[in-house]
Amino acid sequence: MNRETQKSIVSLFSGAGGLDLGFEQAGFNVVFASDIDIRSCDTYLVNRKIDRNRVFAGDVNTLNANFGDFEKYFKDVDVVCGGPPCQGFSIANQQRIIDDPRNNLYRAYVTFVSNVKPKFFVMENVRGMASKMTEIIQDFKNALNDEYDIAYAVLNAKNYGVPQNRERLFVIGNCVGVSSQQIFEDMKKREYANFTLGDAILDLPELKAKKEKNNSKVENDDCGYVEKIYEYEKTEFYKYINGDREIYKLYNHKNRYNNDRDIKIFSLLPQGGNSLHPSIADIMPYTNRNHIFKDKYYKLKVDEVCRAITAHMKFDCHMYIHPTQARGLSPREAARVQTFPDDYIFTGAFKDWYTQIGNAVPVKLAKAIGEQIIKWI
């Protein structure tokens, strides 16, 4: 499909680009993207054929303040999407979300949508925001002169072709006369691929925990590589995330340092076992605080979907212990759980990879949303 004939999308809070990639797979063309994190922008550019001047590395409030400088990219845009952080969100918080100064980025997203007036907008956020949806919908209606039909749904990625138990709130609005609620209903009627964690990761090379501390440059067959030549087994999951493309390199499949105690815990725990399991009772370091740390360690189950991948993995992967190896999931394995293709390269430092992957919208979930929206444009 010619990029000029594809439907257009503008992306805010783009991160590494999971949401955008899913929409691209659904037939959209990203014409502009923005994120304040320069490392995420680098990853975004490495993986896309998009002009650098169409990726704004900066605060969305600055983008709004200089809207006229970028307006040429926003003409007749089909979709604006993004997931603005809402630091001031709380069920107990009585202050309106849009008036809370901590929710500066949420206000900026609403402002940007009202300036661009796309055919559709899509907002993603934590599921807890569902309790504030009456207020959120009214904020959008006020900004958009009540010209958009708006609906929301909490979607679990595991129901849309992603091997991961990940619930997120999605808001869809449109001004083309379509029922946004019907879009969510149509998504639920479709059948999607069904994969487990084992399907997603067990064909990748075995790794061991890195023994050398504070040396991120170490690479070998034991702890892995940033990049290496690799011949993939053409599993169903490989074909699912990569299509019919032949990929000859393995990226970001590298393990972190772990001390001997953690490695022993990783090896002793059975699949599904957590910090309270008797197999590690004599070496569990938080025994006197078990009520707090029962999920400090958790070994994933090979025949189930993975727990939600999060940016916390940059600190440790104790809650993401590999089901058959004494280590945490590698960034590449986490990326597979997020349904990124194998040739999607994450740049920056090792911890940055986890942050970018954990903050992303699962690619195949984004594709499922994009496939329903594009039918109405």
User: Residue 292 has what pLDDT?
Assistant: 59
Is 348's pLDDT higher than 60?
yes
Residues 240 and 331 occupy one common structural domain:
yes
Q: How far apart are CA 112 and CA 66, in angstroms?
A: 11
Whether 173 and 206 map to the same domain: the answer is: no
- Asked whether residue 260 is domain-assigned, the answer is yes
Q: Which residue has the tokens 């957590």?
A: 274
| Same domain as 137, residue 214 | no
Q: Is residue 354 part of a domain?
A: no
What does pTM read for this prediction?
0.94
Q: How confident is the model at residue 301 (pLDDT cuts 50, 70, 90)?
A: very high
Same domain membership, residue 206 and residue 156: no
Contact 330, 223 (CB under 8 A): no
Instruction: Tell me: do 13 and 135 sit in the same domain.
Output: yes
Evaluate if residue 293 carries a pLDDT over 90: no
In a domain, 211, yes or no: yes
Tell me the residue type at 356.
Answer: Q
Q: Which amino acid is at 311?
A: A
- Specify if 181 maps to a domain: yes
Element (H, E) at 372: helix 363-374
> With contact defined as beta carbons under 8 Å apart, do 321 and 292 qualify?
no
Pairing mode, strands 120-126 and 79-82: parallel
Whole-angstrom distance, CA of residue 354 vs CA of residue 207: 17
Query: 42: which residues sit within 8 A by CB, 6+ positions away?
Result: 347, 348
Residue 5 has pLDDT above 70, yes or no: no
Residues 177 and 55 in one domain: yes
Judge whether 355 lies within some domain: no
Integer CA distances (angstroms), 11 to 20, 61, 115, 346, in order = 7, 14, 14, 19
Nearest residue to 163 via CA among 237, 224, 61, 75: 237
Domain span at residue 169?
3-193+361-374
pLDDT over 70 at 8, yes or no: yes
Tens of pLDDT along 98-137? Answer: 887 778 899 999 999 999 999 999 999 999 889 889 999 9
> Residue 16 pLDDT > 90, yes or no?
yes
The pLDDT, as a whole number, for residue 286 is 64
Q: Is residue 320 part of a domain?
A: yes
Same domain, 182 and 257: no
Class of residue 315 by CB neighbours under 10 A (exposed 0-12, middle 13-18, buried 19+): exposed
Q: What is the CA radius of gyration of the chain?
A: 21
C-alpha dihedral (337, 339, 234, 347), degrees to nearest 10: -90
Q: What is the pLDDT of residue 9?
A: 97
pLDDT, averaged across the chain: 93
Is 273 inside a domain boundary? yes
Per-residue model confidence (pLDDT) at position 94: 67
* Banded pLDDT at 289 (limits 50, 70, 90): low
Q: Which of 324, 268, 333 is nearest to 297 (CA)?
A: 268
Nearest partner of 191 among 239, 159, 155, 156, judged by Cα: 159
Check if the beta carbon of residue 317 is closer than 8 Å to that of residue 358.
no
Return the CATH number at 227: 3.90.120.10
Q: What is the pLDDT of residue 374?
A: 97
Average confidence (pLDDT) over 30-36:
97
| Crossing angle between the packed helical segments 38-46 and 350-359, to the nearest 10 degrees | 80
Structural contact between residues 252 and 226, judged by C-beta atoms closer than 8 angstroms: yes
Residues 81 and 226 in one domain: no
Q: Report pLDDT digits (tens) over 241-287.
A: 999 999 999 999 999 999 999 999 999 999 999 988 999 988 887 66
Cβ density class 1-10: b for 16+ within 10 Å, e for less: eeeeebbbbb
Q: For residues 137 and 167, is the Cβ–Cβ distance under 8 A?
A: no
In a domain, 158, yes or no: yes
> Of all residues in the chain, what percent are helix, strand and coil, respectively (each to 5)?
40, 20, 40
Catalytic residues: 86
Both 55 and 122 in a single domain? yes
Give the count of alpha carbons within 13 A of 262, CB side only. Answer: 20
Burial of residue 245 (CB within 10 Å: 0-12, 13-18, 19+) is exposed
Check residues 147 and 92 and name the one with the higher pLDDT: 147
Looking at residue 28, which CATH number applies to its domain?
3.40.50.150
- 3-class DSSP state for residue 205? coil
Number of domains in the chain: 2
Question: Which whole-number Å values give the CA distances from 266 to 260, 273, 328, 329, in the listed order?
Answer: 10, 10, 8, 11
Q: What average pLDDT does this structure show over 64-87?
A: 93
Statement to judge: residues 139 and 181 lie in one domain: yes
Residue 2 has pLDDT above 60, yes or no: no
Q: Can you tell me the distance from the alpha carbon of 375 to that of 79, in angstroms, rounded to the nearest whole number?
A: 13
Do 179 and 61 share a domain, yes or no? yes
In a shared domain, residues 186 and 217: no
Per-residue pLDDT band at 351 (split at 50, 70, 90) = very high
